[in-house]
Amino acid sequence: MAKKFTLTNENYYTKEANEKYLSVSLYKMFFGTLGQKGCEVQAMAYINGDYKKEPTTAMLVGSYVDSYFEGTLENFKEIHPELFKRDGSLKSEFVQAEDIIKRIERDNKFMQYMSGEKQTIMTGELAGAQWKIKMDSYIPHRAIVDLKVVDDIYKPYYHKDTGRLNFIQERGYDFQLAVYQHIVEMNTGERLPCFIAAADKGKVTNIELIQITQGELDGALAGVEYGVNRINRIKNGEIQPERCGRCDYCKETKIIHKPISMSELLDFEG
């Protein structure tokens, strides 16, 4: 009999957890978001443990602020020596993270939304797969809040096919909260309002609490059945994952079969 696997903070990002559960970040690795392309071969290589995603400085800044609110910043600093300069002081990006934290702490409403249970894990079924979620601030019976540290809260993103997008649409954060809302409802029977608590890295930090409406949440889940079905069939070996041709994993594993024409160099224009 297969041994029972219980998802915890310690094993949340392990290979075993990624094989057993789908997550918003895994799903985005396959299909991307409106603003960032995904890659099926890279996602499968990640699940199989053949590809490791190195966190960018921007991701580390986000994790720094997350871990402060979780109360685990000291441990986070210990396992990330790359936060520090040679003289032992914080690099400028993380000095800014400290300033962002201080700005957030000056706002009562923002702090109230961040006062929920931190990094709460739940699992549940959505669109024919088991998903795992980890919420930044879960306020039982009240709200689901995800903290985001972004470049500029009011910056628009342009794409030929989508037009103007805000950072939430660009990064698929509406999809993320829609999945969280569904899994929480599966576990508790309660459908909770969803918010992004955003702080930015402008010269003067801007902060905002942004509610994603129910209509926007429902819209963000359009197509998830198709996506999950495709991931399941790729995992079963029924279909081959597609190469995006642009990501680091595709570059690393590329084999040239024939020359391309000059005009193809602009085919990927985003």
Query: Which residues lie near Zn ion (CB under 5 A)?
Result: 39, 42, 244, 247, 250
Give the residue with the Cβ less far from Zn ion, 8 or 253. 253
Report the nearest approach of Zn ion to the CB of residue 51 (Å): 10
Pairing state between β 143-150 and 207-212: unpaired
- What distance in Å separates the CA atoms of residue 264 and residue 248, rounded to the nearest whole number? 19
Give the residue with the Cβ less far from Zn ion, 158 or 268. 268
Report the nearest approach of Zn ion to the CB of residue 35 (Å): 16
Give the residue with the Cβ less far from Zn ion, 218 or 242. 242
134 in helix, strand or coil? strand
- What distance in Å separates the CA atoms of residue 194 and residue 183, rounded to the nearest whole number? 13
Bridge partners for 118 per DSSP? 137
Give the residue with the Cβ less far from Zn ion, 131 or 249. 249
Report the nearest approach of Zn ion to the CB of residue 46 (Å): 11
- What distance in Å separates the CA atoms of residue 39 and residue 28, rounded to the nearest whole number? 9
Pure H helices in the chain: 15-20, 24-31, 40-47, 57-70, 73-79, 92-105, 108-113, 167-171, 173-188, 214-220, 224-235, 248-253
Report the nearest approach of Zn ion to the CB of residue 43 (Å): 9
Residue of minimal Cβ distance to Zn ion: 39
- What distance in Å separates the CA atoms of residue 239 and residue 245, rounded to the nearest whole number? 18
- What distance in Å separates the CA atoms of residue 172 and residue 18, rounded to the nearest whole number? 20
Tokens of 161: 């096919």
Give the residue with the Cβ less far from Zn ion, 125 or 242. 242
Report the nearest approach of Zn ion to the CB of residue 126 (Å): 25
Give the residue with the Cβ less far from Zn ion, 190 or 242. 242
Give the residue with the Cβ less far from Zn ion, 186 or 250. 250
Report the nearest approach of Zn ion to the CB of residue 53 (Å): 12
Report the nearest approach of Zn ion to the CB of residue 245 (Å): 6
- What distance in Å separates the CA atoms of residue 65 and residue 71, rounded to the nearest whole number? 10
Contact 215, 14 (CB under 8 A): no
